[in-house]
Structure 1
Amino acid sequence: MERTWRWFGKKDKITLAQLKQIGVEGIVTALHDVPLGEVWTREKIHELKEYIESYGMKWSVVESLPVVETLKYGGPDRDHQIEVYKESLRNLGEEGIKCICYNFMPVLDWARTDLAHDNPNGANNLYMNWGEFAYFDIYILQREGAREDWAEFSKEHKWGRDLVAEADEIKKTSTPEQDHALVENIVIKTQGFVSGNFSEGDSAPVQKFRDLLKLYDGIDKKKLQENMKYWLEAIMPICDEYDINMCVHPDDPPYPVFGLPRIIGRAEDIQWMLDAVPNKHNGLTFCAGSFSAGEHNDCVAMA
């Protein structure tokens, strides 16, 4: 067991000196300044690795080496981007960094509606309000079929909540400022930072989000699985050469969202992945938080 901590680079308010002070041994981080789809050079990897080591810790886990959208929907430049990914893996392997957390979630990485939800004890945390999420989809994104999807979602999950009705109620009182905050939390601050698809300066992020969703027209769960298998099989020789473990992060939340398929959210999904590419370097990030957000998952049994 190694005590590791997620650190978001030199701009993180939490410093490496502070992490060392509380007993952290390993750092979980990424090259957040490298544009999406470009090679992580050995020079950049080495510089950050040395910086971490100067504080008496090690770079234990990469989270994430982003999987660009074209790899997920099978775009025309897929094979080129596979070569880019392989080169980044080689450079990480040359620097002795051998644990890579990644995800294969289309367009949207982890989803929350509030990034600083206040608690009675004065602390705050990330928060997911399903009614607000449905409101974003139906009224802000205005996705075709959203109302029907959320009606079906409400029936399927037996939470005793009508999420369409909740969205309609939010519509009655929501202000432009509140709508802007939802766009920031669901699209800009999370997806821009994690996936690189968005940035703070985007003038029309909602339209950009719609355009990304269109890339997945006709992509169902089976096709997304095929694309994941194709990519994993292509990179496994590099992982074998450098003893790099690829550890997929489960879908967060573990449900289809915005009409997009999700393929790593259930026990049977994990079994499919392990069987599809039976290599010891093809593995899982067992995020109990993500798995347990789905009532279909028994985390103890899965473990």
Structure 2
Amino acid sequence: MEKTWRWFGKNDQIKLEMLRQIGVEGIVSALHDIPNGDVWSMESIDEYKQYIESFGLKWSVVESLAVSEDIKYGGEKRDHLISNYIQSLENLGKAGIKTVCYNFMPVLDWARTDLYFQWKDGSSSLFFDKAKFAYFEIHILERKGADSDYTSEILLAVEELKNRMTEKDNNDLIDSIIVKTQGFVNGNIKEGDQNPVAIFKSLLALYDGIGKDQLRQNMKYFLDKIMPVCEKYDIQMCVHPDDPPFSLLGLPRIVTNEEDIDWLMNAVTNSHNGLTFCTGSLSAGLQNDVPQLARKYAHRTKFVHLRSTNVFDNGDFIEAGHLEGRGKIIDVVRIFEKENPLLPMRIDHGRLLTDDIGKGYNPGYSFLGRMLALGQIDGVMATVQSELQRN
């Protein structure tokens, strides 16, 4: 597989020359300065592509040409925004950029409650604490009916949290869930916004009355509209599984398991409707056998994210080492190297190591932590390629 790396543009503390030196071949990036819903111009795409290529790298994958909320919930601006999306895809296609990773998660892109969960060795990683998330829903958002979504054990833990959470703790939790994990991804909320909770509540309100079936139909509507331009320029649209792969905030999530992926692939059978196979997102759901899903969907997979999780009995999960956990990455690499060896692959998330601290990296996107993981996976890929050549 092609070794790629998610890079957040010229302001990223990690520089392209650093990536070339550690064996990265392709860049996964986006025009982060263009607001969601606006057209990506040919000039902006060409300038960005040429800048990447000036370092001996290629712009392999767009992650992400974000799908606006109006498209997801079917708002009045939907058709206008889809028209803009099609124009951006056409411009990308003319520039020779053929793979676009996106998601269809309503409001909340990916969710964690702790961005720097400490390991015994002093490193840290992302963590999802179900009780903390429930506390956020019930006592910070004050979402009506939220308590009915949780078990009595979780609700008891929520009450214990209520008795000891300080104002600073609350602000840190808000920052972790709806600011720091979202601002650099989807732009709905960004650092410096006043009263992010109020903004978040207004976004949630847009989905009143939108259930799973309606969200599915909205996704099909979007994909049906964009498939002609994808066919014209051979652009592979690859949806990212929901992270985590279960409902949050009373919102439907529709890319969580085998049944969901089956529905999506059958609803839009065009081969340009594909999958970003994320071992991390899928492994956070106990319903998912990750290698089995990799085998089944190898032919519809257009891009691979490699990371892993450990899931606890109470529903909490933590980012595991890349050679550990439920992601079964070694097995998954064997499957994709055999079935689809030209896929772009990027290391997803990494621990924050000592010399990563204070460098201003986005949560989950450290340099040394991901470099360590890339080295591990590079070794796995070399071993698997050697096995395949012998057989």
* Residue matched to 1:214: 205
Moved more, 59-68 or 124-133: 124-133
Report the 3-state secondary structure (helix = DSSP H, G, I; strand = E; otherwise coil) of the residue aligned with 2:224: helix
Report the 3-state secondary structure (helix = DSSP H, G, I; strand = E; otherwise coil) of the residue aligned with 1:194: coil
Q: Distance in 1 between matches of 2:75 and 2:164?
A: 41
1:254 counterpart (245, 265, 270): 245
Q: Distance in 2 between matches of 1:290 and 1:173?
A: 31
| Pairs within 5 Å for 1:115-154 | 115-151=115-151
Report the 3-state secondary structure (helix = DSSP H, G, I; strand = E; otherwise coil) of the residue aligned with 2:182: helix
Report the 3-state secondary structure (helix = DSSP H, G, I; strand = E; otherwise coil) of the residue aligned with 1:32: coil
Q: TM-score, normalised by structure 1?
A: 0.95
* Residue matched to 1:157: none
Report the 3-state secondary structure (helix = DSSP H, G, I; strand = E; otherwise coil) of the residue aligned with 2:76: coil
Give CA-to-partner distance per residue, 1:147-189, whole Å, 9 cap, x none. 11123xx7xxxxxxx2211111111111111111111111111
Report the 3-state secondary structure (helix = DSSP H, G, I; strand = E; otherwise coil) of the residue aligned with 2:277: coil
Q: Percent identity?
A: 58
Matched, 1:61 2:52: no
Matched, 1:188 2:179: yes
For 1:81, the aligned partner's letter is L
For 2:155, the aligned partner's letter is V
For 1:117, the aligned partner's letter is F
Matched, 1:174 2:165: yes
Question: How many correspondences in the alignment?
Answer: 294
Report the 3-state secondary structure (helix = DSSP H, G, I; strand = E; otherwise coil) of the residue aligned with 1:40: coil
Q: CA RMSD in A?
A: 1.0
Q: Structure 2 unaligned runs (5+)?
A: 295-391
Matched, 1:41 2:41: yes
Q: Distance in 1 between matches of 2:147 and 2:8?
A: 36
Q: Distance in 1 between matches of 2:91 and 2:73?
A: 26
Q: TM-score, normalised by structure 2?
A: 0.74
Q: Structure 1 unaligned runs (5+)?
A: 155-161
Matched, 1:289 2:280: yes
Moved more, 242-251 or 115-124: 115-124
Q: 1:116 to 1:13 in 2, by over 3 A?
A: farther
Q: Distance in 1 between matches of 2:227 and 2:248?
A: 29
Report the 3-state secondary structure (helix = DSSP H, G, I; strand = E; otherwise coil) of the residue aligned with 1:172: helix
Q: Distance in 2 between matches of 1:192 and 1:7?
A: 15
Runs of 4+ in 1 over 3 A off after TM superposition: none
Post-superposition offset of 1:118: 2.1
Post-superposition offset of 1:214: 0.8
Report the 3-state secondary structure (helix = DSSP H, G, I; strand = E; otherwise coil) of the residue aligned with 2:72: helix
* Residue matched to 1:237: 228
Post-superposition offset of 1:120: 1.7
Q: Distance in 2 between matches of 1:29 and 1:126?
A: 21
Matched, 1:199 2:187: no
* Residue matched to 1:79: 79
